[in-house]
Amino acid sequence: MTTETMTKIPPAPTWDLESIFPGGSKSTSFKAHRDKVKTELQTAFDMLHALPESIDNDNRKTWVEFILKLQSLLADIELILSFAGCLTAQDVSDSEAMAIESEGDDYLGEWQKLHASLEERSLKQSDEQWNMLLEAPELEGLQFPLTELRDIARSKMPFEKEELALDLAVNGYHAWRRLYDKMAGDLRAEFTEDGITKALSMGQLATKMSSPDRDVRRRAFEAISSAWNKQADLAAIALNSQGGFRLSLYKHRNWDSPLYEPLVAARLQEPTLNAMWKVIARETPRLKPYIEAKKKILNIDKYCWYDEFAPCGKSDRLFSFEEAGKFIVEHIRSFSTDFAEFIEMALEKRWIEAEDRAGKAGGGFCTGFGPIKESRIFMTYAGSFENLLTLAHELGHAYHSWILKDKPYFAQQYPMTLAETASIFSETVVIDAALEQVTDPQEKLMLLDQKLQAAYVMFTDLRCRFLFDKAFYTLRKNGTVQKERLNELMVEAQREAFGELLDPSGYHPLFWCSKLHFYLTGAPFYNFPYVFGYLFSGGVYDRAKKEGPAFAEKYRNLLADTGSMTNEEIAQVHLGVDLTREDFWVDAVNRSLADVDDFVQLAEHL
């Protein structure tokens, strides 16, 4: 890197939303689109009522038209939700956009009823009839999602019960998530820094956990724990209610395991998941030298939860947004000219909201817009290398969507396990390029810490969430799990996942309470897909390094199939590996831990 240290950088750009719907939440064209969706939903229900019960040569076209209507409706509803989500992210006070998001949720609920009815009707067809439908030229590219739809339908309740469950979930199951979101959003704790005491949100306190000052980290952690301890009873009620709803639903669907739903959603086989966790459990202790070296750098004798994101090394360099974009493009181009040209286009067309200003939501995301074959990236760019990595990560997501843009919309829907393939690939290219160029030992230490910290979080933090979820659902089958027992389950999970890497005095018993992911109703077990994606993307990156530019076309083909294959099929077809075997995961974990020795040696000489 040749960027010189700066005290100030030019403002990062704002995104272009006007080309999608001019006028924001008050846009007349956006209102017209929502009105169209409302009308089209009614049309779809009319088509459903007129749909013949049995498929034959004479009525196949009617079935095809209904399926294509469902597909276009989903894309149009996603456009509503994505655009409204962008509006609320860029301005958290945009109450009209928030109301539109709720409107979009209602439309999605109606669409899900149509989808459930299609599932039910698919089961009434013989295999020959269903295959005849799939052979329709208009459904080319939809064979995988439609076959998957029918397979999943076989494991569900009769349509009337599924429809009732969807209706009840709106004001029951999902209401607990909304209640938790409101509780978490309103939670504040007093925090004193530089002699000034302020009431901070949980998100603001979480940022303090990456402070170089351990006292700041500790006090922030204690403030978060204290605030959540006062709400633990309510959080326990929400968690038990959501878990109870799921288990009741699973019972009526004859699903024996609470892992059934997340595995189906992830398009993943349980032997693959077991192989991955088995290797991680066995190899995690290899992080011990990294943690010991980090303890010496931080001058601490006990590694606690609040030390997880303590910075090691440092870099005073600031990168303008333009410099960050050029750096990413330069190094992505060595792997894929197509990927690099896409990034240049996204930057030129202002697909990225990066300005550092008040009134924006926190965090970052990449979203598509259904029938509009574009993406938008949301983040706050302040010039740090971490910001540069975030930009690279989100551009990877956008490229993934770009590769899929001409596929049928149902075939664009890839699982969470594969969602991180392009994003982490892009991020890894950038951080490795930075490591090759760095000359300052402190900056190199910081970069190595970034890489190893990711492995640490995936193998310990994410694994403890998975272990907690499994233990919680086992106990929840027998009744409500009290908050005290939830605390115990979390500590037990952390003890198993972290082993000797975390001091027993440094556990986080209330993590079940404070972590939003445990309360997401759309994705139970919102943990293992992250770990899978992290390791799988590493395997793809390793192949790209070995094959160089020749891998670019294979990379495109792999991404293009992520909505039309299972994880195991993707790996077999495009990488020639069997994910149910441990050897792939051994290689992946070895790759993730390859920098431990370099970090330790560098730390010893500083």
Taking a C-beta distance cutoff of 8 angstroms, is the pair 216, 497 a contact? no
Indicate if the pLDDT at residue 400 is higher than 70.
yes
Query: Taking the mean position of all CA atoms in its chain, how far away is CA 156?
Result: 26
Q: What is the pLDDT of residues 430-464, one digit of tens each?
A: 999 999 999 999 999 999 999 999 999 999 999 99
DSSP symbol at 518: G
User: What integer pLDDT is reported at residue 170 of this predicted model?
Assistant: 81
Query: Taking the mean position of all CA atoms in its chain, how far away is CA 68?
Result: 28
Radius of gyration of the chain (CA): 25
Indicate if the pLDDT at residue 5 is higher than 50.
no
Q: What is the pLDDT of residues 184-227, one digit of tens each?
A: 888 999 999 999 999 988 888 888 888 899 999 999 999 999 99
Taking a C-beta distance cutoff of 8 angstroms, is the pair 581, 275 a contact? yes
Indicate if the pLDDT at residue 37 is higher than 90.
yes
Q: How far apart are CA 1 and CA 327, in angstroms?
A: 8
Taking a C-beta distance cutoff of 8 angstroms, is the pair 309, 210 a contact? yes
Amino acid residing at 493: A
Indicate if the pLDDT at residue 541 is higher than 80.
yes
Percent of the chain with pLDDT over 90: 83
Indicate if the pLDDT at residue 3 is higher than 70.
no
Indicate if the pLDDT at residue 181 is higher than 90.
no
- For residue 366, which of 447, 427, 451 has the smallest C-alpha distance? 427
Indicate if the pLDDT at residue 1 is higher than 60.
no
User: What integer pLDDT is reported at residue 174 of this predicted model?
Assistant: 87
Q: What is the pLDDT of residues 347-398, one digit of tens each?
A: 999 999 999 888 888 788 999 999 999 999 999 998 988 899 999 999 999 9
Residue 458 CB burial class (10 angstroms; 0-12, 13-18, ≥19): buried
Residue range 388-409: average pLDDT? 96
Token pair for 425: 């690939």
User: What integer pLDDT is reported at residue 7 of this predicted model?
Assistant: 54
Indicate if the pLDDT at residue 313 is higher than 80.
yes
Taking a C-beta distance cutoff of 8 angstroms, is the pair 360, 91 a contact? yes
User: What integer pLDDT is reported at residue 235 of this predicted model?
Assistant: 96
Token pair for 556: 């495109």
User: What integer pLDDT is reported at residue 314 of this predicted model?
Assistant: 83
DSSP symbol at 550: G
Indicate if the pLDDT at residue 586 is higher than 90.
yes
Q: What is the pLDDT of residues 490-517, one digit of tens each?
A: 999 999 999 999 999 999 999 999 998 9
Indicate if the pLDDT at residue 4 is higher than 70.
no
- For residue 368, which of 79, 64, 72 has the smallest C-alpha distance? 79
Q: DSSP letters along 154-193, please?
A: TTS--HHHHHHHHHHHHHTHHHHHHHHHHHHHH-EEEEEE
User: What integer pLDDT is reported at residue 298 of this predicted model?
Assistant: 95
DSSP symbol at 366: E
Residue range 591-595: average pLDDT? 95
User: What integer pLDDT is reported at residue 6 of this predicted model?
Assistant: 43
Q: How far apart are CA 338 and CA 488, in angstroms?
A: 51
Flag whether the pTM goes above 0.75: yes
E strand or H helix at 378: strand 372-378
Residue range 398-416: average pLDDT? 96
Taking a C-beta distance cutoff of 8 angstroms, is the pair 417, 424 a contact? no
Residue 548 CB burial class (10 angstroms; 0-12, 13-18, ≥19): exposed
Indicate if the pLDDT at residue 340 is higher than 90.
yes
Q: DSSP letters along 424-437, please?
A: HHHHHHHHHHHHHH
Indicate if the pLDDT at residue 2 is higher than 60.
no
Report strand pairing: 188-193 vs 352-353: unpaired
Instruction: For the beta carbon of residue 289, count every other beta carbon within 10 angstroms.
Output: 16
Where are any strands of DSSP class E within 15-146?
none
Percent of the chain with pLDDT over 70: 99
Higher local confidence (pLDDT), 185 or 49: 49
Q: How far apart are CA 436 and CA 330, in angstroms?
A: 14
Instruction: For the beta carbon of residue 452, count every other beta carbon within 10 angstroms.
Output: 24
Residue range 167-174: average pLDDT? 87
Torsion sign (Cα): 361, 367, 370, 375 = positive
Mean pLDDT over each residue of the chain, to the nearest integer: 94
Q: What is the residue extent of each domain of the chain? A: 178-314+443-528
Indicate if the pLDDT at residue 306 is higher than 70.
yes
Report strand pairing: 372-378 vs 352-353: parallel
Q: How far apart are CA 490 and CA 236, in angstroms?
A: 13
Phi, psi of 318 (to 5 degrees): -115, 140
Indicate if the pLDDT at residue 8 is higher than 70.
yes
